[in-house]
A and B are shown apart, each in its own frame.
Chain A
C-alpha cells in the first residue's frame, strides 16, 4: 500500500527544489571526480583581459584551475562562457519585517539576520546567472546596518554561502527613510515613529549627526554609542565602504557632499538613477555607481516621494567614459527580459562596449566591495562561478544554458533543463 504523505514531501521540499535545478545529478561529474568539469566554448569572456577564442576552462574542487585556449571539447559545451554575475542590489530582501524599527541609525546589525534562504527568489536569481549578491537590509532607515556578500546557491546556510561578511555599511539619503514617519499630530506623542526624520533634510541631518557624534567621540574619548563609532570610524579610515542609496540628483549631490565633508573614504552610490546628471561631481569624488535597471521610458518612479527620476540609456557609457566605476543591477527584476544579463544588454544598447558591460556585472561590483580576490572573473584560483550562454552574452536572443556555482552544476547545459 503506497502511502502518500504530503508532509514528507514538504520536509524534503529543499531536496526536490535543488534536484529540479540540478537535473542530471546522476550524470554529474562526467569527468573524473564528482564536481570536476572541463568546459569548452567558442568564446571565453574572462573579464580579466582579452577574450579567449575557442578555449577551455577546467574546474576542480570548486575552483578554477586552468583557463586556456585550445583544448578540444569538454564535458560541457557552450557558445560563450562568462564569469558568474554579481548584483549589489538584488531583489531578495524580506521587506519591512527585516527593518529595525527602534532607531533610524542601525550600525551593528548584519543583514544576514534578516535573510530567508528558503525564499524562491534565490533560485530565480541563480538561474538568471547571478552567482554572488550583496545582501542588505531594506532602506527604510538612514543607516541600515552591515551588508554581506554571499553566493546565491548551495547549502541553505549563511556560513556555507558566505563570500564575505560585513562588506559595506548601508545608508540611504532621500525620501525612503523618512517615508514611514509622521509629524506629531493630535495625541499619541509617545509613538516612536514621531521622533524620527520626516523629510529629506531630516534624513541628511541624522546622517550628519551620526558622523558628527562619532568624530566628537573620537576627539573627546567619550562615546554614547561605541558600535556606531567603531563602524563609522572604519568608513572614515577606508576600511569599510559606505553603500548609499541615492536616487535623485539632489540625493547624489547630498551623498557626495557628505562624503567630502566628513572624509568618508570609499562610497558606492546605489539605485543611482540620476548620477549621470552630475558627471563632474561624481567623477571627482571617486564614488562607485551602481545603476538601477534600465526602462524603455527612462522614467523611474519614486513611490515614496510621489516623484519620478530619469535614466537615459546612455548613462552607463557616459559614466564609464569619465572613468567612474560602474556596476549594473537588476533589482527586483526576475522575469525573462528583466534580468541582470538583460541590463547589460541595455547598457550596450546605450553605447557601452561589451567589455565594459561585462565588467559592470562581474569584476567591477566585486572590486567595489573588495571580493574580487575570490569572484568576478575567470582566473586561476578564483571560485568556479561560471555562466554558459547559447549565443553572444547579453543579447536577448541568447539564453543562459548553464550555471556553475562553486564548481557545482546548478543549471545543466546538456539535454533538457526544464
Chain B
C-alpha cells in the first residue's frame, strides 16, 4: 500500500506540473485584459432570448453585456479588444445546475453537517473546472455529494480562478440534503436521521428559550426580593421565521448564542437557504417532500433526481418544485415478470407534467452538457427545450436569471464561441469569455491537444491520474484476484427480482 501512496503523490506532483504549464498559457491571456471590456463578433449569435442574430456583435463592459445585435447596428467601443469572427457561433455559457465534482472529496463523514461549507473543499486546480471551460460551461453550482443526511453549504462558481474567492459567484448558496441512504444506512434509518435532525433542532431551541426564560424569571425575582428596580430585558434576538413549526419566544435569544451546529439548520427552517434534495429512487420523492413541507422549506427546495424518479412525477407536480435531472436521460428498466424492456425518456415525462426541469451532466462527466442537450434533441425533445434545459432553466432554478442563462443586455458577459453549431459532434469550443474576460482559447489548450491527439507537450508530464468517476462515498474500485469476474450490470442492480427472492434468514 505504501508504494501506492507514494506513486499517488508522485502522480499528483506531475499532474500539478502539467496543469500549471497549461495554466500559464491560459494565464497569459487572463492578465492581458482585466477590466472586463471586450467585443465579441460571431457569424451567428444564439441568444436563447429570441431569434438568432446573423453576423452579430456583443459589447461587454465591466463584465456585463451592454449591447448586442447585428454588426451594422452596434457601435463598438474603440478601446475594447475584439475576439471572434464570422466563422464562429456565439452562445451563452452552459450552466451546470448541480454537481459534486471539483472538490477534494464530495462527501463528509458527519451525517448532519450544515455548518460545513464546501468552499473549504473546492479545488481550483481540479481538472473538472478545466473541462468545464473546454466544454463551454461557465457557471457551476457545486454542492456536496449525496452521501450525507444533511450536507454542507454549497456555492455557485465560475470555472476560472486560482483561489476559491476568485471563482466565487455566489457563496453560501444552497444546502444539500439527501434522501438516498448514506453508506451504512437504509431508507428508513436515513429518514429517521432526517426527522431527528429537525426534532433535535426544535428541542435545542426550546431548551435555549426555556433556560433564558428561567434565568430572566429568577433574575426578576431576585431583584424584587432585593428591592432593586427591575429593568426590562431587551430581546436581543429575532422571532423565529419560517412557514412551518415555530419555537415560541425565540426572540429572547440572541442569534449569536445559537451554536454553530444548529444555526444553519435554523436558517434552513426559516427558509433562508435553497435546498438541493437528492432522491435516488421514486420512494425518496414523497419522503423529501414531506420533510421539506413539515419543516417549512418546500418553497425553496429543488429536487435532484436519479433516473427512475420520474415515476414519482405526479407527486412532484403536486408539490410544485423544480427538478434537476441528475441521472441518464433514458431510464431502461426490465419488467421482472415478462422480461420486457422499457425505455423512458425522462425529460419528456417532466415536460408533459409541466414540471420545471434542468438537465445536469453530473453522472455523465464524460460527455458534458452539450452532449446531453444534443442527445435529448435526438430522443425527441425540441431543440429549444433541450437548449433551455442546460442554460435558461438552470439559471431560473438557481435564481441567477438576472446574470446568466442568455445573451441579453444587462447579463454577465459569458460567451462561448463555437466552431459550428453547439450541438454537433464536429464542433469545438474555440474561445470562452467570462464576464468580459477571455479565459479560454483552444489554441492554447495544452490538455485538449493531449486528449485529441495524444501528444504530450514538451516540458510536462502526461496527466496519468485523472479524477475518474465520481465516488459517492469513498470506496475504491478494487479488482480482486478472483477467478470470477462480475459483470455487474446496471439493470441487475436495479432489478427488483433478485433481492426479493431470498427469504429472510
- Please give the residue numbers on chain A whose beta carbons come within 8 Å of chain B beta carbons, in ascending order: 6, 9-10, 13, 16-17, 20, 95-96, 101, 118, 120, 123-124, 138, 140, 179-180, 182, 193, 276-277, 295-299, 301, 303-304, 306, 308, 310-315, 332, 334-337, 345-346, 348-351, 390-391, 394-399, 418
A311–B341 Cα distance when bound, in Å, is: 33
- Please give the residue numbers on chain B whose beta carbons come within 8 Å of chain A beta carbons, in ascending order: 131, 328-330, 332, 334, 337-341, 343, 345, 364-368, 371, 374-375, 377-380, 383, 423-426, 450-455, 462, 464, 466-468, 477, 479, 481-487, 491
A303–B131 Cα distance when bound, in Å, is: 25
A391–B483 Cα distance when bound, in Å, is: 46
Asked whether B330 lies within 8 Å of A179 as measured between CB atoms, the reply is no
Contact status of A348 and B425, CB under 8 A, knowing A95-B487, A337-B364: yes
Chain A contacts for B481, CB-based, 8 A = 179-180, 182
Asked whether A391 lies within 8 Å of B378 as measured between CB atoms, the reply is yes
A335–B327 Cα distance when bound, in Å, is: 12
Contact status of A297 and B366, CB under 8 A, knowing A312-B451, A312-B454, A399-B379: yes
Identify the interface centre among B338, B464, B467: most chain A CB within 10 Å of its CB: B338
Give the 6 A-B residue pairs with the shortest CB-CB distance, closest first: A312-B454, A396-B374, A303-B479, A180-B483, A345-B425, A296-B366
Chain A contacts for B486, CB-based, 8 A = 95
Chain A contacts for B380, CB-based, 8 A = 399
Contact status of A397 and B424, CB under 8 A, knowing A299-B468, A303-B477: yes
Asked whether B491 lies within 8 Å of A120 as measured between CB atoms, the reply is yes
Chain B contacts for A123, CB-based, 8 A = 341
Asked whether A296 lies within 8 Å of B365 as measured between CB atoms, the reply is yes
A417–B371 Cα distance when bound, in Å, is: 23
- A17-B339, A314-B453 known; 17 new pairs, CB 8 Å cut-off, are A10-B337, A16-B340, A95-B487, A96-B483, A96-B484, A120-B334, A138-B485, A179-B485, A180-B484, A312-B452, A313-B451, A349-B425, A351-B452, A391-B378, A395-B374, A395-B424, A399-B380
Of all chain A residues, the one with the shortest Cβ separation from B338 is A13
Asked whether B479 lies within 8 Å of A337 as measured between CB atoms, the reply is no
Report the minimal beta-carbon distance from A94 to chain B, rounded to whole angstroms: 9
Chain A contacts for B468, CB-based, 8 A = 297, 299, 301
Chain A contacts for B425, CB-based, 8 A = 345-346, 348-349, 394-396
Identify the interface centre among A179, A296, A313, A332: most chain B CB within 10 Å of its CB: A296
Of all chain B residues, the one with the shortest Cβ separation from A302 is B479
Of all chain A residues, the one with the shortest Cβ separation from B378 is A399
Identify the interface centre among A299, A337, A349: most chain B CB within 10 Å of its CB: A337
Contact status of A96 and B485, CB under 8 A, knowing A313-B452, A395-B424: yes
Of the candidates B131, B375, B450, the one whose C-beta lies within 8 Å of that of A396 is B375
Asked whether B339 lies within 8 Å of A13 as measured between CB atoms, the reply is yes
Contact status of A276 and B454, CB under 8 A, knowing A9-B337, A20-B340, A337-B367: yes
Asked whether A310 lies within 8 Å of B454 as measured between CB atoms, the reply is yes
Chain A contacts for B467, CB-based, 8 A = 297
A117–B10 Cα distance when bound, in Å, is: 48
Q: List 19 A-B contacts (CB under 8 A).
A: A16-B338, A95-B486, A95-B487, A120-B341, A120-B491, A180-B482, A296-B451, A298-B451, A301-B468, A304-B479, A308-B464, A312-B451, A315-B454, A349-B425, A349-B426, A350-B452, A394-B425, A395-B378, A396-B423
Chain A contacts for B487, CB-based, 8 A = 95, 332
A394–B374 Cα distance when bound, in Å, is: 11
Chain A contacts for B332, CB-based, 8 A = 124, 334-335
Asked whether B454 lies within 8 Å of A314 as measured between CB atoms, the reply is yes
Asked whether A397 lies within 8 Å of B482 as measured between CB atoms, the reply is no
Asked whether B338 lies within 8 Å of A17 as measured between CB atoms, the reply is yes
Chain B contacts for A345, CB-based, 8 A = 425
A398–B426 Cα distance when bound, in Å, is: 14
Chain B contacts for A314, CB-based, 8 A = 452-454
Chain B contacts for A17, CB-based, 8 A = 338-341
Asked whether A10 lies within 8 Å of B338 as measured between CB atoms, the reply is yes
Contact status of A336 and B375, CB under 8 A, knowing A297-B366, A312-B452, A418-B343: yes
Report the minimal beta-carbon distance from B451 to chain A, rounded to whole angstroms: 5
Chain B contacts for A398, CB-based, 8 A = 378
Chain B contacts for A140, CB-based, 8 A = 485
Report the minimal beta-carbon distance from A371 to chain B, rounded to whole angstroms: 27
Asked whether A348 lies within 8 Å of B426 as measured between CB atoms, the reply is yes
Chain B contacts for A101, CB-based, 8 A = 483
Chain A contacts for B485, CB-based, 8 A = 95-96, 138, 140, 179-180
A9–B337 Cα distance when bound, in Å, is: 8
Report the minimal beta-carbon distance from B493 to chain A, rounded to whole angstroms: 14
Asked whether A193 lies within 8 Å of B483 as measured between CB atoms, the reply is yes
A418–B197 Cα distance when bound, in Å, is: 44
Asked whether A299 lies within 8 Å of B466 as measured between CB atoms, the reply is yes
Chain B contacts for A276, CB-based, 8 A = 454
Chain B contacts for A349, CB-based, 8 A = 425-426
Report the minimal beta-carbon distance from B19 to chain A, rounded to whole angstroms: 14
Asked whether B338 lies within 8 Å of A9 as measured between CB atoms, the reply is yes
A123–B339 Cα distance when bound, in Å, is: 11
Chain A contacts for B491, CB-based, 8 A = 120
